[in-house]
Amino acid sequence: MGSPNAKRKVHVVPSIKQSSSVPIDRSKVFTLVLGVIIMAAIYFILPENYSDTAKIMLGLLGMSVLYWTFEPVPLGVTAVLLLILMTVFGIVPKEVVYSGFSSPAVFLIIGGMMLAIGVNDTPLAKRLAYFILAKWGGTAKGLVGSIIIIPQIQAFFIPAVAVRATLLIPVAMMTLDTIEVKENGNLRKMIMLAVAFGGTISGTVVMTAAIGNILTVELLKEFLGIQITYFQWFLYTVPIWLLLIPVVWFVLLKSFALQPENKEFPHVKEEMKKKLDELGSLNVQEKKCIAILILIVGLWFTEPFHGLHPSIPALLGAILMAFPGIGCSKWESMVKINFDTILLMGVTLSLGYAFNHSGATELIGGSLTAGWFIDLLRSPILAVFSVLVITQVLHLVVANVSTAVVILIPIFIGLATTAGADPVLICVTASLACLHGYILVVEATPNIVVHSTGQIQQKDFLIPGLWMTIAMIAVTVLTAATWWNWIGLL
């Protein structure tokens, strides 16, 4: 044994460095607690003659609307939470709770996001943007028009609206920096809203270009066995799409007064031409990408002949883009998709099925069966107008597009059946109204993407958004009275 005075080797345990604590976001905590309160309040306020399952379902719906609107937690977290709560409370059988994920619509979204990554792995999307801006980007009018047109073309080969907006933002920002527009300038606001509103309009004509469209088609098939094809959706909506493009251009130009120096800027065209020159001619990868996209869109348009669900061409395209020697991307890159979107799609579909299965749809639909409203639905033009107005108002409350569609489409199906009206006419109208959210940031994904840049505020959406909402209603009613009447939808 050593001497007691001998030095002993002391093992000093290093102190654990306290990481700087993450500040608690009180507003998010408040929103989370408020959601629980709303769920409980809905359950206890509803009449006793409502079934427990319907009351719990409506309570969960109220909570989900709040969470998806204000996002105290990521969208996917809310989706999974709903999945768990529907199972724990036993609102509907487990088969119904998970049924949304068995829908081909989920695989259409997966395929669409993979296609978007594959396209983005080539310079094709940037080339398109540079080409259009080089042609018409030398004036304020041309620049706004160009920013609006770009997502309309992208919608045919980039199904995800969030991806279209995200790809366009850097191009728009680069253009504004080239012009040296001041931070709060009207031209900056105009261009940012052109990205947002143009992105929303781009989801109109292409069935696969907006989640709301896909959900509507799936719900009609689930509840009524009615299958709307890619071509039919295009046929129904093409006049609305074509009319809204010049309308949004006009509204934005009239909504913001521009200084003389912000009306013409020929150096933008020169800058875009320089960018095009840097890209050079179409490379092999881009040519392969174009060929695959033509094949996919061709299969989507010819769905009535081969009967393949749109998810099959989308998934086939994803495989071809990653296939050795044929593709333009890598599988490792293409599978890095936003899983939140998949969870949101699957759970919102399950929510719609559970909403109907629990009896909640009948309860809400029953409260809207006032004689005057049923009479309105029996007159096709009045039905279109009233559904547009009611849906736009409700969409301000139920801001999330997927949630709005899942709640309203089953209700409108029931009301149309009661009134003896065409459910396709009513549901397509409601779906379009859900898609075209312009007033609030949270009403549409492109609005959220643009607002997240910090370049524009909620107040900047209000006046142009109000005019676009009125214009959308007017254009849809005009289309119904003419085009839909001619093709037999009205």
265-323 tens-digit pLDDT: 888 888 888 988 998 899 999 999 999 999 998 999 898 889 888 889 989 999 999 99
380 found inside a domain: yes
Residue 431 in this model has a pLDDT that exceeds 90: yes
* pLDDT score recorded for residue 420: 86
Its domain, for residue 68, covers 29-100
Q: Is residue 112 part of a domain?
A: no
Whether residues 60 and 209 fall in one domain:
no
Q: Report the pLDDT value the prediction gives residue 243, as an integer from 0 to 100.
A: 97
Please report, as a single letter, which amino acid is at residue 466: L
Is the pLDDT at 17 greater than 60, yes or no? no
Mean pLDDT, rounded, for 114-141: 87
241: its two tokens: 């799409």
The verdict on 127 and 96 lying in the same domain is no
23 in any annotated domain:
no
Mean pLDDT for 443-452 is: 84
**Average pLDDT over every residue of 351-379:** 74
**Res 262: pLDDT:** 67
Query: Which of 262 and 180 is assigned the larger pLDDT?
Result: 180
For the stretch 384-405, pLDDT in tens is 999 999 999 888 877 678 878 8
466 and 420 within one domain: yes
Domain shared by 368 and 468, yes or no = yes
Cα–Cα dist 473/382, whole Å: 12
Quick one: 240 and 131 in the same domain? yes
Q: Are residues 238 and 383 in the same domain?
A: yes
Q: Are residues 88 and 228 in the same domain?
A: no
pTM of the model: 0.79
- Per-residue pLDDT band for 10 (boundaries 50, 70, 90) equals very low
- Is position 5 within any domain? no
Residues 190 and 142 in one domain: yes
Per the domain annotation, does 334 fall within a domain? no
Residues 141 and 90 in one domain: no
What is the spatial distance between Cα 202 and Cα 26, in angstroms, rounded to a whole number? 37
Residue 444 lies in a domain: yes
Residues 142 and 229 in one domain: yes
Same domain, 147 and 268: yes
Mean pLDDT computed over 246-260: 88
Overall domain count for the chain: 2
Single residue among 43, 69, 100 that ends a domain in this structure: 100
Domain assignment present for residue 300? The answer is: no
pLDDT at 374: 81
Cα–Cα distance measured from residue 58 to residue 410, given in angstroms and rounded to the nearest whole number = 14
* pLDDT of res. 261: 61
Encode pLDDT of 156-197 as tens digits: 888 778 878 888 888 888 888 888 777 778 888 999 999 999
Query: Is position 111 within any domain?
Result: no
pLDDT-derived band at 4, boundaries 50, 70, 90: very low
Q: Average pLDDT in the 321-344 region?
A: 88
Q: Both 373 and 473 in a single domain? A: yes
